[in-house]
Structure 1
Amino acid sequence: MWKQWLIALVLVAVAIGGAFMYQNLDDGDAAQGGRERPASAVNTRLPQMETVRDVVNAVGSLKALNAVELTTEVSGRVVQLNLETGRRVEQGEVLLRLDDRQARADLQVIEAQLADARRQYERAQRLRSNNSISQSQVDELRTAVDVAEAQRQSARVRLENHRIEAPFAGVVGLSDISVGAYITAGTSVTTLDTTDRMELGFSIPERFLGQVSRGQQVRGASPAYPDQTFSGQLVELGSRVSELSRSLPVRALIDNPDGLLRPGQFMSATLTLRQREALVIPEQAVMIRGDEQYVFVAEDGVARRVSVNLGSRMPGFVEVSKGLSQEDPVIVTGQDRLSSGDRVRVLEDDKAIPENRFITARES
């Protein structure tokens, strides 16, 4: 009998202990639920005023501003050669001369004939004053003088054609000609290019026609020089829009003072349509939900959600046209876990924003 009482007492004790533990558990949950959510650690950045550009990106090819393939006008043997590849020459500098002894002799003969024709014409004029010869004879002698003068001019041209001069200042190209070689008329001697400024041809979409004008800034980049940009300006606009590409061909002049760029080279171009001072923030601070773009601003230890209107984008940064001021500390890290009204704890960390390898492109 006493065993039954013992079992009953144990059951009652277990029930009382369970009820006590359940009550303590409810009290702990209630206390935990009543405590505030801990402040989220975040980093902030103030918006900055920077130069913002509306740009159009395109690709094109470079051409020399002046380019020519030099060829011989007459046949002959090369006696003088001044064609060092890559050398810069001035306008009028002699690049090649052929043996011109025969041409000089022909010119001397014609000059002698011209002198004789002039003497006969002058004698005939004196005789005509005395009516010793007819006017028709005088006219014939005058015609002979004119013919001799024309022949002299032709001989001078033939003599000049035995040498090739630089038609403009530029850089000499490759040549396979050597001194002593006999070349025929029409033989290609070398090329000559003006490379101080290069012509860059590219096309822009027709939707930008209303914003394009001569004189706008153009920046070029070449895969051959990845860490360098080349500046220039827009100089020519095409008169027709391509029906196939719906784009307008344009031309820009790119400065090339060091001679790094060469004709035919590929180049990407950035045309600046408009430039202004505007607020910019790190691109990583922007949150998107549906059609809304917003950021979080830290105010007195509390996160506040602010809708913003964005403008042009740059590497790592974006323009804010509406919604922020320069005094608003924008949260740039941890914002994806925040809601408006949450408590925040601002940390000081200069490396909160990763280094951007395109930062040089933005600054240039």
Structure 2
Amino acid sequence: MKIESLPPASTAPAVPVKSPARRWRKPVIALAALALAGAGGYAWTHAGSAKPAPAAAAEKKETVHELSARDIAVVEARPLALTLPLSGSLTPLAQATVRSKVSGVVQQTMVQEGMAVSAGQVIARLDDSEARARVAQQQALLADAGARLALAKKNQANSAALLKQNYIAQNAYDTSSNAVDLAQAAVDSARAQLELARIALNDTAIRAPLSGVVSKRHAQAGEKLSPDSPVFTIVDLKQLTLDAQVPASDIPRIKAGQEVQFKVDGFGARNFAGKVLRINPAAEAGSRAMLVYIGVDNPDGVLRAGMFAKGVVTTEKTNAHPLLPLLGVRQDHGRDVVYRVDAGKVVAQPVKLGLKNEDDGLVEALDGIRPGATVLAVKLDDVKPGDKVTLPAKKD
């Protein structure tokens, strides 16, 4: 059996074993160095291709606001008025119901409803045969009384001559004088009766008491009328009255002479004018409103009685001043300002205000602005003083 011996132990110096911590430090450091080198190379290769940011991007772009026609208003100088609404019906200032003054049968009617008549025009006739007979009778009675008066005067003259010669007593003369007085009275009475008969005859021709338009005919030909029977109704349309009801709380604002503007159904946009004539001192029981009477001139006669009218009465009116839109007035540190457009920029313009009309949305500018200026008519939150704006193009 062969016995092999082991080789002798090496005499080379032993290599020290490294710890695991030291084993991964060098690879990490190498990787970091490579990363830094790559980043530096990328920065060097792209340094020439980087473009600087434009200067316009660094600055904020200026905004220009475009205004519409409803955003602006051109200041006008004209009077500003405060008004109060009212409504009512039109009634003739003068109207009359023509009545028969005497009894008689209607012989003829000359006019009908809607026809114009003049004052004094004959509009109907009654049968005048009885009236003519009465006139003739009174003429005869007057003649008889005149004859009796003449006889009484002759007797008085004879009595006076006999009295001078003492042929009769004073008492007889006085009797003849008294007969003259009685005859004279009879003549006067007969003359008055004749005048009444003539008036009655004249009254058989019924005349218009005023100029106007016939609104109603109450009698027809052939009807028997008694005294005071209605025949026609005539209205004068040249002067009308608008009877308007106004709440009692608003009556202190109304005075005689104030101007009234109103419209009537059927006449489109046509405006009519009038003036306050008087105010009824008593309020209506149901509505607690008071009647205000407004005089209306109607020279062309287009307005008719009974038409309904709606309008306003001007309770206060100022002189001509620049007028501003109420919605465009702002408060700035306790003062009133409007935004005025000047050379394409918005300017805060302080103003001194006067009378306001909230119904029309206008306010009077006593100071601070002139007619012709362009102002913002409404409040635009994104528009401030100093901003640039463009105005809408003007229409030809």
| TM-score relative to the length of structure 2 | 0.69
Per the alignment, residue 279 of structure 2 pairs with 238
CA–CA separation in structure 2 for the residues paired with 1:146 and 1:227: 66
User: CA separation in 2, counterparts of 1:207 and 1:111?
Assistant: 66
Q: Which moved more, 1:96-105 or 1:323-332?
A: 323-332
Letter in 2 for 1:155: A
* Residues 46-70 of structure 1, C-alpha deviations (whole Å, 9 max, x = no match): 3111232333332222221211122
1:277 to 320, 327, 338: 320
Q: 1:118 & 1:97 partners in 2: Cα distance? A: 33
Is the contact made by 2:339 and 2:385 (CA closer than 8 Å) also made in structure 1? no
Whether 2:324 is the aligned partner of 1:296: answer no
Report the alpha carbon displacement of residue 90 of structure 1 after superposing the two structures with TM: 0.9
Larger Rg: 2
- Distance in structure 1 (CA, Å) of the matches to 2:284 and 2:216: 39
Match of 2:179, SS state, is helix
Matched, 1:160 2:188: no
- Contact map agreement 1:282 1:317 (CA 8 A) in 2: yes
Could you say which residue in structure 1 is the equivalent of 2:60? 35
Counterpart amino acid of 1:140?
Answer: L
1: distance between equivalents of 2:318 and 2:364? Answer: 15
1:284-312 deviation per Cα after TM superposition (whole angstroms, max 9, x unaligned): 645689x9975322345443445653634
Alignment of 1:50 with 2:113, yes or no, is no
Rounded Cα–Cα distance in structure 1 between residues aligned with 2:231 and 2:387: 79
Q: Which runs of 5+ in 2 are unaligned?
A: 1-27, 40-52, 160-172
Q: Please list, as runs of the form range in 1=range in 2, the aligned pairs for 1:204-215 lying within 5 A after superposition.
A: 209=252, 212-214=255-257
Cα RMSD (Å) of the superposition?
3.9
Contact 1:62 1:201 in 2 (8 A): yes
- 1:191 deviation in Å? 0.9
Q: Is the 8 A contact 1:220 1:254 kept in 2?
A: no
Q: Percent identity?
A: 24
Equivalent residues of 1:60, 1:269 under 8 A apart:
no
Q: How does 1:6-155 map to 2 (within 5 A)?
A: 35-36=60-61, 38-43=63-68, 44-131=72-159, 134-155=176-197
Alpha-carbon shift at residue 198 of structure 1 (Å): 0.8
Q: Using structure 1 for the length normalisation, give the TM-score.
A: 0.74
Distance in 1 between residues matched to 2:357 and 2:268, nearest whole Å: 21
Q: Which moved more, 1:145-154 or 1:106-115?
A: 145-154
Deviations 1:324-344 (A, max 9, x none): 4126430246x4233533512
Alpha-carbon distance change, 170 to 83 in structure 1, aligned in 2, over 3 angstroms: same
Check the 8 A contact 1:206/1:241 in 2, yes or no.
Answer: no
- What is the deviation of 1:102? 1.1
C-alpha distance in 2, partners of 1:154/1:259? 39
8 Å contact kept, 1:278–1:319: no
Q: Count the aligned residue pairs.
A: 329
Distance in 1, matches of 2:305 and 2:278, equals: 20
**Amino acid in the other structure paired with 1:92:** G
Structure 1 window deviating more from structure 2 (86-95 vs 49-58): it is 49-58
Of the structure 1 ranges 74-83 and 62-71, higher mean CA displacement relative to structure 2 is found in 74-83
Unpaired runs of 5+ residues, structure 1, are 17-27, 352-364
Counterparts of 1:166 and 1:85 in 2: how far apart (Å)?
13
